[in-house]
């Protein structure tokens, strides 16, 4: 009989501290300053206390993770459906914040589409706060989107797309001009404008070397696309939401570039130091975990939070600014389809528990 696969161990403080010990040693060797954790810290000061790395009030979820149940028609599965039932369940699990991925549900629930005002009442009734949204950001509809954001009570308005998909500086310059203006308008209304990354955002610009037939550069100086945008976007008006999973995919996929002289260069992207260098540019994060799998193009498979190989303890401990940062759990692959309609909410439950287990000694 073939050997049966063993279940992955549940994330606990013990396993977190064991993982953190090696992570701390590695960062210490690199010259990073870290807070001391674990039994050694307790031995030095018996008055130390355990505190969550992600404060309870800052633990959220983007509804894309449970989109199958938000959009589901009334059924007899026993699994919550629609905004009212799903948000109530998420609040019961423990989530305090909601990031939206659309404002529609199945019209069979109410006989019509739900309104932002009705969604706001559901949030309030369940003690939930909207902390952001993924919408299309463009000058034509931005005022309308800000109206909805303010109806829902959120402080951040954003998108799941990059400001541009281009590999060229000129297009990122143009995008920065637009985003600076939109961000200025958002600030006037008490909102922060943010963009969310996938791995391609941290690939290298084509900004040097010989030109192609269209007059475009064909090689790179080693600057990454979104990092170039950091410098062009006004820090008063434009903010970022790091998707931790896609950042580590970028670390895996985008390691080499060809310099202006045709030489192959290696540069390893560091998600932690990218945030730690500018923590107040990142009010939001997608707390998305993954298991290493070099057999797939991205190098990782998405899994519930705390069940993967990404060192979330190391990440959230090192970036600091715990009270400022808001973590929204996401797993694109959470829905289980008709075969398992309760899977996404079950994963939401496990992920919340594991998120709450991230602690630090102070």
pLDDT band at residue 330 under the 50/70/90 scheme: very high
Average pLDDT on 128-133 reads 98
| Overall number of domains in the chain | 1
Asked whether residue 257 is domain-assigned, the answer is: yes
Asked whether residue 29 is domain-assigned, the answer is: no
Q: What is the span of the domain harbouring residue 271?
A: 56-361
Give the whole-angstrom CA distance, residue 24 versus residue 48. Answer: 19
Are 280 and 321 in contact, with CB atoms under 8 Å apart? yes
Asked whether residue 82 is domain-assigned, the answer is: yes
Give the whole-angstrom CA distance, residue 40 versus residue 79. Answer: 45
pLDDT of the residue at 45: 52
HEC string of the chain equals CCCCCCCCCCCCHHHHHHHHHHHHHHHHHCCCCCCCCCHHHHHHCCCCCEEECCCHHHEEEEHHHHHHHHCCCCCCCCCCCHHHHHHHHHHHHCCCEEEECCCCCCCCCCCCCCCHHHHHHHHHHCCCEEEEEECCCCCCCHHHHHHHHHHCCCCEEEECCCCCCCCCHHHHHHHHHHHHHHHHHHHHCCCEEEEECCHHHHCECCCEEEECCCCCEEECCCCEHHHHHHHHCCCCCEEEEEEHHHHHHHHHHCCEEECCCCCEEECCCCHHHHHHCCHHHCCEEEECEEEECCCCCCCEEEECCCCCCCCHHHHHHHHCCCCCCEEEECCCCCCECCCECCHHHHHHHHHHHHHHCCEEEC
Are 300 and 249 in contact, with CB atoms under 8 Å apart? yes
Nearest Cα residue to 157 out of 177, 138, 176: 138
Q: Which residues have C-beta within 8 Å of that of residue 313, sequence separation ≥ 6?
A: 16, 19, 20, 23, 53, 358
* Tokens coding 76: 């007899």
pLDDT of the residue at 46: 64
Instruction: Give pLDDT tens digits for 170-211.
Output: 999 999 999 999 999 999 999 999 999 999 999 999 999 999
Instruction: Give pLDDT tens digits for 269-283.
Output: 999 999 999 999 999
Asked whether residue 279 is domain-assigned, the answer is: yes
Asked whether residue 100 is domain-assigned, the answer is: yes
User: Considering only 22-31, 64-73, 251-260, 290-299, which range has the smallest mean pLDDT?
Assistant: 22-31
pLDDT of the residue at 25: 45
Q: What is the pTM of this model?
A: 0.87
Give the whole-angstrom CA distance, residue 330 versus residue 61. Answer: 6
Q: Which residues have C-beta within 8 Å of that of residue 275, sequence separation ≥ 6?
A: 242, 282, 319
Instruction: Give pLDDT tens digits for 214-247.
Output: 999 999 999 999 999 999 999 999 999 999 999 9
Asked whether residue 240 is domain-assigned, the answer is: yes
Asked whether residue 176 is domain-assigned, the answer is: yes
Q: Which residues have C-beta within 8 Å of that of residue 145, sequence separation ≥ 6?
A: 133, 135, 136, 137, 157
Query: What CATH code is carried by the domain that includes residue 78?
Result: 3.20.20.150
Instruction: Give pLDDT tens digits for 2-44.
Output: 444 444 444 443 343 444 444 444 444 444 444 444 444 444 4
Give the whole-angstrom CA distance, residue 283 versus residue 251. Answer: 22
Nearest Cα residue to 293 out of 333, 248, 328: 248
């Amino acid at each position: 009989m073939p050997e049966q696969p063993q279940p992955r161990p549940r994330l606990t403080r013990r396993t977190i501290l064991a993982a953190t010990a090696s992570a701390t040693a590695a960062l210490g060797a690199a010259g990073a300053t870290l807070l001391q954790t674990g039994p050694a810290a307790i031995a030095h000061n018996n008055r130390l206390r355990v505190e969550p790395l992600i404060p309870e009030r800052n633990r959220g979820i983007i509804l894309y993770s449970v989109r199958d149940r938000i959009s589901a028609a009334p059924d007899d599965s026993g699994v919550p459906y629609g905004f009212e039932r799903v948000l109530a369940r998420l609040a019961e699990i423990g989530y305090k914040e909601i990031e939206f991925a659309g404002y529609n549900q199945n019209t069979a629930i109410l006989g019509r589409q739900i309104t932002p005002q009705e969604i706001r009442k559901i949030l309030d009734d369940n003690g939930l706060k909207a902390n952001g949204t993924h919408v299309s950001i463009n000058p034509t509809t931005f005022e309308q989107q800000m109206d909805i954001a303010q109806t829902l009570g959120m402080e951040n308005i954003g998108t799941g797309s990059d400001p541009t998909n281009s590999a060229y500086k000129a297009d990122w310059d143009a995008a920065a001009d637009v985003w600076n203006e939109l961000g200025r308008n958002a600030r006037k209304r008490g909102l922060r404008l943010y963009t969310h990354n996938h791995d391609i955002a941290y690939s290298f610009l084509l900004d040097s070397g010989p030109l192609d037939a269209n007059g475009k550069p064909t090689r790179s100086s080693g600057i990454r696309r979104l990092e170039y945008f950091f410098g062009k976007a006004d820090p008063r008006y434009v903010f970022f939401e790091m998707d931790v999973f896609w950042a580590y995919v970028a670390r895996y996929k985008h390691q080499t570039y060809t310099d202006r002289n045709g030489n192959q260069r290696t540069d390893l992207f560091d998600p932690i130091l990218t945030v730690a260098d500018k923590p107040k540019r990142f009010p939001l994060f997608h707390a998305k975990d993954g298991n290493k799998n070099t057999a797939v193009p991205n190098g990782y498979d998405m899994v519930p939070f705390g069940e993967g190989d990404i060192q979330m303890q190391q990440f959230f401990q090192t970036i600091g600014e715990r009270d400022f940062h808001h973590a929204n759990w996401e797993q694109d692959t959470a829905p289980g389809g008709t075969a398992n309609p309760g899977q996404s909410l079950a994963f939401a439950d496990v992920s919340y528990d594991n998120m709450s287990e991230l602690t630090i000694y102070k």
